[in-house]
Amino acid sequence: MNTIEQGKISSTPLGDPDSIKLEPRPWLVDGFLLKKSVTALVAPGGTGKSSFALALSCSIAAGTDVLGLGVREPTNVMLLSYEDDKSEIERRYKAVCKKHNLSFERHNVYLPHNVFLPKTPIQIFDLEGSQPKPTLSARGLSDILIELDIGLLVIDPLSFINPADENSNSAMAKVIQELSSIARQADCAVLLVHHTRKTGKNERVKGNADMSRGAKALTDGCRAVKTLSTMTVAEAKGRSIDPGTASSYVQLSDAKQNYQAFNTKERWFQIESVLDETGESVGVIVPANVELERSEFWEKTAENVALRIVETFGEGRHPQTKIRESYAKAYNITTSTVAGHFAEIKSGSIRVTHQDKEYSVEKTKDGASQRSKAYFEVSLVA
């Protein structure tokens, strides 16, 4: 440890490891939310990330691990929810509590009075030139977090508190630095709910921190990053789930971990409809018991491999060497196994149906030699 005083630097050795007495890390949720640090939850619009964040907040405040994520420490939670008004948050809150039978004895979920539109919402940052600068509200936020003994601050979405260019690394680094400072001052965890950038045809959200919208400094500054992704048709078929209901299932995945090894266990949730007292339907996140089955879809046949290529990569000319790793990750197999899958598709074209459309998958080469690059040509059949 170093101390700096009047420009002088002194140092002490770590010494005998047996003499160091360790304390448990202050996890609120194991491998997810840690006090004094910032975590990002990244997902495309409409995935259910706000519903997930609310259900998680209620679970932590109630001290009941209804999502099965490993709640270690119940605590007070503060929601800075900028996209919904107070009545809508109250509606969702009541639905979550009804569905999961939650009650609050020692801790609560708090809403700041001046966060909702059309009132002037809490502005944590102003612009100074092109860079974000903390406002007086940033200090006020720290104070109220300490006063109410808040253990988790949820900011939903991140874009509403950042007036600077989201693609500027220097700007986003300052945003994360300030939020990290608030987390340390208030001894709380900060959860940022954030959108993904526009995805390309061959890109996957699941477990990919680079899918976060804006500058990389955002995810670099977070100690953990999680993604929330909607179940694909292929994933539904491999789990004996009606593909028509796949969009109601979401998967939580590790995209960055600074303190633990990645959790590779599949964690699925479903958005279920709960009727409130007015008869309105409210989507509530619940754990989903989704088991991967070795159904016919998962057999290593040319038709099944072709269907997976269509579902994962879409139309186009796909070099085998470039899609091998993504294919392995998408279907939870080793990259060394992929070659055997690709070998199932031999000469000629294979026709498969995906989402009511017929596609042709053909293996081609850019030359006659054994070293010529091999491709899969995927085209829509007219």
| Residue percentage of the chain with pLDDT more than 70 | 94
- Name beta bridge partners: 353: 358
SS3 category, 167: coil
pLDDT digits (tens, 9 = 90+) for 196-240: 998 776 577 889 999 999 999 999 999 999 999 999 887 887 788
Q: What is the pLDDT of residue 296?
A: 47
pLDDT digits (tens, 9 = 90+) for 19-75: 999 999 999 999 999 999 999 999 999 999 999 999 999 999 999 999 999 999 999
Q: Cβ(281)–Cβ(273) under 8 Å?
A: yes
- Across 133-153, average pLDDT: 96
Output the average pLDDT for the chain.
90
Q: Is the pLDDT of residue 281 over 80?
A: yes
Q: What is the pLDDT of residue 235?
A: 83
Q: What is the pLDDT of residue 118?
A: 47
Higher pLDDT, 382 or 230: 230
Tokens of 30: 């194991």
Query: Dmax over Cα atoms in the chain, in whole Å?
Result: 76
- Across 73-98, average pLDDT: 95
- Across 106-112, average pLDDT: 95
- Across 87-113, average pLDDT: 95
Q: What is the pLDDT of residue 126?
A: 95
Q: What is the pLDDT of residue 303?
A: 86
Q: What is the pLDDT of residue 298?
A: 58
Lowest-pLDDT range of 185-194, 282-291, 293-302: 293-302
Q: Which among 218, 271, 233, 229 has a CA at the least distance from the CA of 253?
A: 229
pLDDT-derived band at 117, boundaries 50, 70, 90: very low
Tokens of 367: 């030359």
Name, in order, each residue with C-beta under 8 angstroms of 377's C-beta and a sequence gap of 6 or more. Answer: 317, 318, 360, 361, 362, 363, 364
Please provide the distance, in angstroms rounded to a whole number, between the alpha carbons at the two ends of the chain.
68
Q: How far apart are CA 315 and CA 313, in angstroms?
A: 7
Q: What is the pLDDT of residue 293?
A: 60
| AA identity, residue 131 | Q
| Residue percentage of the chain with pLDDT more than 90 | 64
Q: What is the pLDDT of residue 1?
A: 47
pLDDT digits (tens, 9 = 90+) for 321-371: 888 888 887 777 777 788 888 888 887 788 888 777 889 999 988 877 777
Q: What is the pLDDT of residue 231?
A: 92
Q: What topology does CATH give the domain 24-287?
A: Rossmann fold (3.40.50)
Strand locations in 207-320 (E) = 224-230, 249-257, 267-275, 281-287, 316-319
Q: Cβ(147)–Cβ(114) under 8 Å?
A: no
Q: How far apart are CA 71 and CA 109, in angstroms?
A: 15
Tokens of 160: 């509403």
Q: What is the pLDDT of residue 156?
A: 96
Q: Cβ(287)–Cβ(269) under 8 Å?
A: yes
Q: What is the pLDDT of residue 120?
A: 57
Q: Which among 53, 57, 48 has a CA at the least distance from the CA of 250?
A: 48
Q: Is the pLDDT of residue 188 over 90?
A: yes
User: Which residues of the chain are in CATH 3.40.50.300 domains?
Assistant: 24-287
Q: How far apart are CA 360 and CA 350, in angstroms?
A: 6
Higher pLDDT, 294 or 104: 104
The per-residue DSSP string of 102-143 comes to ---SS--EE--TT-STTS-----EEEETTEEEE-HHHHHHHH
